[in-house]
Amino acid sequence: MPEMRALSVSEALGLARKALEGVRLVVVGEVSEVSDKPSYKAVYFSLADEGAVMPCLMWRDAYSESGVSLRCGSLVEAEGVFTVYAAKGRMQFQVRRLALAGEGVLRMQVAALARRLQAEGLTSSDRKRRLPAFPTRIGLVTSPRGKAVHDVIRTLGRRYPVAELLIAGVLVEGDGAAEAIVKGLRVVTEAGADVVILGRGGGSYEDLMPFNSEAVARAVASCPIPVVTGIGHEPDTTIADMVSDLTASTPTAAAEAATPASADLMRRLEHISTRLARGLAYRVQALEHRVALLSGRPLFCDARRILGAWEQTLDGLSGSLERALPRRLDVASDRLRSADERLVSVGGRLVSAAGASVALLEARLGDLSPLGILRRGYSVCYAEDGETVIRSAGQVSLAEIVRVRLADGALGCRVETKEEEAAR
């Protein structure tokens, strides 16, 4: 067996590095630690699974181009080669391509949607509405076959049985679940619900993805009535939880948050009843005392204390009126007689002058009247139709019938002869 040549440490590590860098691998693992300092040229992190931990590095320019933000607990897919850092004698995986894997991709998409909705103000606490104190109709949007629907029904029956429950059974996971949830919210709203409970039981992150969809988020945010979400278990938080008016850890907790407890209501009603009884009794006592004080005043014992002075004033005014009225009537009668005499005197003169004017106008009107002219011996000749006035001999023909109007009647004549003269 030939004797092996002894190598220096640097030579040995160089051979190992050359051998490792010839193997390109794709590794999936969970990020267990991250060292990302701006002054470093590379980002250092570790990938782990149930049985091992692998140190990794990625040069900063390649890391920036990947678009991935490393967080502990993220599941990533790393492509690269093993290499040896000779100065420390340490093997590490040099990552050349990095991407989120499995659930990590979903979480990245959900985080991006959450940031966009937050920028629009849909997750702001200022837009969250108060729940009705005593709802009469409660809408429930959930799976009709899951445990959540029974938990909510049982909780509402125990805490607040007076409310009417409107259930919209919908898909809560898988294809078409987001569209079904949006439709369920619309149905219970149109049915007249005062508040909506949107919920489902626990499940994997993928199972809860319909509640992370943009369509469901916008439907919850635009719902005209308050929405209470109870999705999954305590640590689960979805986009629907972020935009709802109130978030509960479970469907049962959502039902409790949306309703008052009947026992609490009874205690509150008893307390209000006691306060009302005390207030009413105090009010009655105060009014009784006031009535007693008022009834003892002289005013209510002798009405003349108020009416006496007014009655005396009325008597004085009545006497003054009786004295003043006859004098005023006498003065008015004298003025009326004087006016009557003046009217008779002036009226005669006015009528005489008016009569003379009327006679003069009548004479002038008679002079201008056509009948007056006819009475002086003139006549008017009409055509046979009795309407057209004949002003010229050329308007008629021999043997034509004409009508002659006189002052006291009319004649029907036949034209025997006609003589035309030149107009002057």
**196 pLDDT tier (thresholds 50, 70, 90):** very high
Contact between residue 238 and residue 211 where contact means Cβ atoms under 8 Å apart: yes
Residue-averaged pLDDT of the chain:
84
CA distance 246 to 269: 26
pLDDT at 104: 58
The model's pLDDT over 142-195, given as tens digits with 9 standing for 90+, comes to: 999 889 999 999 999 998 899 999 999 999 988 899 999 999 999 999 999 999
Per residue in 204-245, pLDDT (tens digit) is: 777 888 999 999 999 999 999 999 999 987 666 889 999 999
- Tokens read off for 307: 């009416």
Q: C-alpha distances in angstroms, 86 versus 14, 81, 274?
A: 8, 16, 85
Which structure tokens are listed for 136? Answer: 């009469």
pTM for the complete prediction? 0.47
The stretch 42-56 carries a mean pLDDT of 90
Distance CA(199)–CA(184), nearest Å, equals 12
Alpha carbon 335 to chain centroid, angstroms: 75
Task: Tell me the residue length of the chain.
Answer: 424
Instruction: Collect all residues with Cβ–Cβ distance below 8 Å to 390 and sequence separation of at least 6.
Output: 381, 382, 383, 396, 402
Higher pLDDT, 215 or 269: 215
Terminal-to-terminal C-alpha distance of the chain: 173
